[in-house]
Structure 1
Amino acid sequence: MCLAKCRDTDYIDFLIATPRAVTCTEAAKVQPDAPQPPAHDAFTRLLRRLEPDPETLWQEARPMVHTKGGVLVVDDSTLDKPYAEKIELVNRHWSGKHKAVVWGINLITMVWTDGDRITPVDYRIYDKVHDGLTKNDHFLAMLHAAKGRGFEPSCVAFDSWYSSLENLKAVRELGWTFLTQLKVNRKVDVARAGTRAVGEAAIEVSGTLAHLPGFGAIRVFRVVSRDGDVEYWATNDLAMDELARLTVAERSWSIETYHRVLKQCCGVERAQVRSARGQRNHIGMSIRAFLRLERNFFRTGVSWYEAKARIIREAVRAYIAQPLYKLT
Structure 2
Amino acid sequence: MINLLNALYYSGDTSIPVAFELVKKPIQYSNIKTKKRRRKSEITKNEMLREMITTCVRNDLKFHFVLFDSWFSSKENFNFIRHKGKHFISALKNNRLVATSNEDRKNKCFTQINDIDLPENTLIQGWLKGYDEPLLFLRQVFKNKDGSTGILHLVCSDLTCDHNAITTIYKKRWKVEVFHKSLKSNANLAKSPTRTLRTQSNHIFMSIFAAFRLECLSIKNNLNPFALCRKLLINASRSAYEELRRFQVVA
TM category, shorter: 0.7 to 0.9
How much has 1:138 moved relative to structure 2? Answer: 0.5
C-alpha spacing 1:231/1:266, structure 2 compared with 1 (3 Å): same
Q: Which deviates the most, 187-196 or 164-173?
A: 187-196
From 91, 106, 115, the counterpart of 1:200? 115
Contact 1:218 / 1:235 at 8 angstroms: preserved in 2? yes
Q: Are positions 1:273 and 2:189 aligned together?
A: no
CA contact (8 A) 1:114 1:251 kept: no
- Within the candidate set 168, 172, 175, 2:85 is matched to 175
Equivalent residue, structure 1, for 2:129: 213
TM-score normalized by the length of structure 2 = 0.84
The one-letter code matched in structure 2 to 1:219 is: L
Aligned-pair identity in percent equals 26
Shift of residue 306, structure 1, vs aligned partner: 2.4
Determine if the alignment matches structure 1 residue 222 to structure 2 residue 139. Answer: yes
Equivalenced residues, count = 224
Q: Could you say which residue in structure 2 is the equivalent of 1:117?
A: 14
The separation in 2 between residues aligned to 1:128 and 1:167, in whole angstroms, is 22
Q: How do residues 1-328 of structure 1 correspond to structure 2 at under 5 angstroms? A: 104-130=1-27, 132-191=42-101, 192-193=103-104, 194-204=109-119, 205-216=121-132, 217-227=134-144, 228-321=149-242, 322-323=244-245
- How far the C-alpha of 1:303 sits from its partner, in A, is 2.0
* Letter paired with 1:173: H
Deviates more, 1:121-130 or 1:283-292: 121-130
Deviations 1:219-250, CA, capped at 9 Å, x for gaps: 11101113421110001112211111122112
In 2 relative to 1, CA 187–310 (structure 1 residues): closer, same or farther, beyond 3 Å? Answer: same
Tell which has more relative contact order, 1 or 2 (C-alpha 8 A, sep 6+): 1
Partner of 2:38: none
Q: C-alpha separation between the residues in 1 aligned to 2:175 and 2:88?
A: 16
- Deviation, structure 1 residue 123: 0.2
Between the aligned partners of 1:219 and 1:141, the Cα distance in structure 2 is 26
Deviation at 1:206, TM superposition (A): 2.5
TM-score by length of 1: 0.65
Match of 1:18 in 2: none
**5+ long unaligned stretches in structure 2:** 28-40
Deviation (angstroms), 1:299: 1.5
Measured after TM superposition, the shift of residue 307 of structure 1 is: 2.0
Whichever residue aligns with residue 212 of structure 1, its letter is: L
Structure 1's consecutive aligned runs of 4 or more residues displaced over 4 angstroms after TM superposition are: none
- Distance in 2 (alpha carbons) for counterparts of 1:269 and 1:119: 20
- 1:317/1:151 Cα in 2 relative to 1: closer, same or farther (>3 Å)? closer
Compute the displacement of 1:298 (Å): 1.0
